[in-house]
Amino acid sequence: MLAPLKTLEQILARLAETIDSLPLTRSEGFVSLVLELPQALTIAPEIPGPQFQFTHNHRGEVRAGYGIAGEWTAQGEARLQTLRTGAKRMSAHWEHLDPDETGFSGFAMLGFASSPVTDAPSEPDTLPNALLWLPELALSSRAGQAAVILSTALPIAREEVFARWKTRLEQVIPRLNQPALDPLTPARLDQGPTEPDPARWQDLVLSALEQIEQAHLEKVVVCRRLRLEGHRRFDLTRLNAALAYLFPSCQVVTIRRHATSFVAATPERLFTQQRDRIEVDAIAGTVCRAASADRDAELTSALRTCHKNLHEHMVVVDAVTDALGHCSRHVEPPDGPRVMQLNNAQHLWSLVRADLDPGMDVFQLAELLHPTPATNGHPCESARAWLRRCEPIRRGWYTGAAGIIEPDLTGELWVLLRCAEIHENTADLYAGAGIVAGSDPDSEWQETEHKLAAMSTALQFA
């Protein structure tokens, strides 16, 4: 195993050898240079400046990006169509050089808020409503291999891009695969305000149940926000490591553009697209875990047979199947429900697979599949309108989606759940519960408590 500084020397030497092969004087577009790293990654380092990271422990995958080679932002009902236009231009004029024959390529991040519109102006430190982001330096690791990908907009002078890439490499490469940080003593977190409070939550759920009883809604998902204050600045490297350890089957997402970071540990893919195949997670219906194995098994059995949870789950499955029917040659029968068990909760989970119509891409699929009844409700527009009227908080990117976009505009998006917005030693946590006929306000509040525990537990070690 090469020492970090030796790895940096080799990467810089390889950059000097290959940079003259790049079409840096071309009048438009982007170019990416892919260079092999000597070992796979388990986590990407945190450095100053804009960055994102997607880590999945069980799959052994890490994708991270630093700096900005290209970006597109949008808001409003046409936000994904607007970003798709930018992505198509990027893809049409994006050249790759892979001199080490790694098989890796450059990638962009796509992310967007839960709603395409907001009644309040965005704060300077928050993420834009929708964002397509091509990083200047990217890390990609899977199947025991890894690469660093350097990207730039064209045209650009050789000396300028070499200096810029050299600075990025010097920031990132020495920090790769540092020894695991010693665990910190779990810190006490002070609980701040929660919105809505328990009394307002009771009223909100009862109001939703009234809409369901009157057949205006079949399901609606209500959420709450909890503020936690730490006694030290939260360390994102430690937080990501804690989340990856506690929730190895979840996608751990970290996005930072300014001083505030958005972090999620989500079990739910919006979809994975590979060429003309798509796979979607349908997750709805939740119970907690128990310390006793016998009690835990009882809860699992009850989840499998609970009419309320099965109904909530099938609303999501039917909505996903219907959406895929509008863009697919063939939709397979749902595989499930099975039970997805996490450290703090267990969910009913079905897989829905389909063969897509030719030419479908992530932007079109996101338009069809987001928001799902698991995060918004059903019927979709009625639930969205009710939430805009009645939900007392702004969700931001909570229940939005984010993921990785490949050069051919396929890729994978994850629903942003079990989230926190983090600034210094303050964290705003989000969680929600699906309300259907038979829901009980106290039980749904307790469900959000279990979901909030995912992030609050990890934050104690950050």
The tokens 């119970």 sit on which residue?
A: 287
Alpha-carbon distance 279 to 289, whole Å? 27
Domain annotation covers residue 287: yes
Q: Is the pLDDT of residue 440 over 60?
A: yes
Q: What is the mean pLDDT of residues 35-61?
A: 93
Q: Is the pLDDT of residue 102 over 60?
A: yes
The reported pLDDT for the residue numbered 342 is 82
Domain annotation covers residue 184: no
Alpha-carbon distance 205 to 308, whole Å? 15
Contact present, 1 and 171 (Cβ < 8 Å)? no
Contact present, 196 and 224 (Cβ < 8 Å)? yes
Alpha-carbon distance 242 to 199, whole Å? 33
Looking at the structure, tell me whether residues 390 and 312 fall in a common domain: yes
Name 235's Cβ contacts closer than 8 Å, sequence gap at least 6. 46, 462
Give the CATH number for residue 221.
3.60.120.10
Rg (CA), the chain: 22
Looking at the structure, tell me whether residues 201 and 170 fall in a common domain: no
Domain annotation covers residue 237: yes
Which of 124, 141, 175 is the endpoint of a domain? 175
The reported pLDDT for the residue numbered 315 is 87
Q: How many CA atoms lie within 13 A of 15 on its CB side?
A: 26
Q: In what helix (H) or strand (E) does residue 383 lie, and over which residues does it extend?
A: helix 380-390
Q: In what helix (H) or strand (E) does residue 16 lie, and over which residues does it extend?
A: helix 4-18
Regarding pTM above 0.85, the answer is yes
Q: Angle at CA 262, nearest 5°, toward 261 and 265?
A: 130
Contact present, 257 and 246 (Cβ < 8 Å)? no
The reported pLDDT for the residue numbered 35 is 97
Contact present, 280 and 271 (Cβ < 8 Å)? yes
What is the secondary structure of 209-240 as a DSSP string? HHHHHTTS-SEEEEEEEEEEE-SS---HHHHH
The tokens 């994975």 sit on which residue?
A: 272
The reported pLDDT for the residue numbered 4 is 64
Question: Percent of the chain at pLDDT above 70?
Answer: 96
Nearest CA among 31, 12, 445, 455 for reference residue 236:
455
pLDDT band at 350 (very low <50, low <70, confident <90, very high): very high
Which of 175, 207, 231 is the endpoint of a domain? 175
pLDDT band at 288 (very low <50, low <70, confident <90, very high): confident
Looking at the structure, tell me whether residues 209 and 234 fall in a common domain: yes
Does residue 2 or residue 385 have the better pLDDT?
A: 385
Domain annotation covers residue 182: no
Nearest CA among 409, 417, 438, 122 for reference residue 253:
417
**Tens-digit pLDDT profile for residues 135-177:** 999 999 999 999 999 999 999 999 999 999 999 999 999 999 7
Domain annotation covers residue 185: no
Q: What is the mean pLDDT of residues 196-200?
A: 95
**Strand 94-97 relative to strand 145-153, pairing:** unpaired
Looking at the structure, tell me whether residues 346 and 202 fall in a common domain: yes
pLDDT band at 250 (very low <50, low <70, confident <90, very high): very high
Looking at the structure, tell me whether residues 453 and 310 fall in a common domain: yes
The reported pLDDT for the residue numbered 182 is 60
The reported pLDDT for the residue numbered 5 is 72
Q: Is the pLDDT of residue 115 over 70?
A: yes
Looking at the structure, tell me whether residues 69 and 201 fall in a common domain: no
Alpha-carbon distance 90 to 213, whole Å? 49
The reported pLDDT for the residue numbered 399 is 95
Contact present, 250 and 342 (Cβ < 8 Å)? yes
Domain annotation covers residue 53: yes
Alpha-carbon distance 140 to 324, whole Å? 30
pLDDT band at 2 (very low <50, low <70, confident <90, very high): low
Nearest CA among 218, 138, 186, 121 for reference residue 436:
218
pLDDT, the chain, mean: 92
Q: Is the pLDDT of residue 183 over 70?
A: no
Looking at the structure, tell me whether residues 42 and 162 fall in a common domain: yes
The reported pLDDT for the residue numbered 258 is 87
Looking at the structure, tell me whether residues 274 and 408 fall in a common domain: yes
- Find the domain containing 20 and state its range: 4-175
In the chain, how many domains are there? 2
Alpha-carbon distance 234 to 129, whole Å? 25
Domain annotation covers residue 180: no
Looking at the structure, tell me whether residues 168 and 219 fall in a common domain: no
Which of 175, 206, 233 is the endpoint of a domain? 175
Alpha-carbon distance 291 to 238, whole Å? 26
Domain annotation covers residue 290: yes
The reported pLDDT for the residue numbered 312 is 86
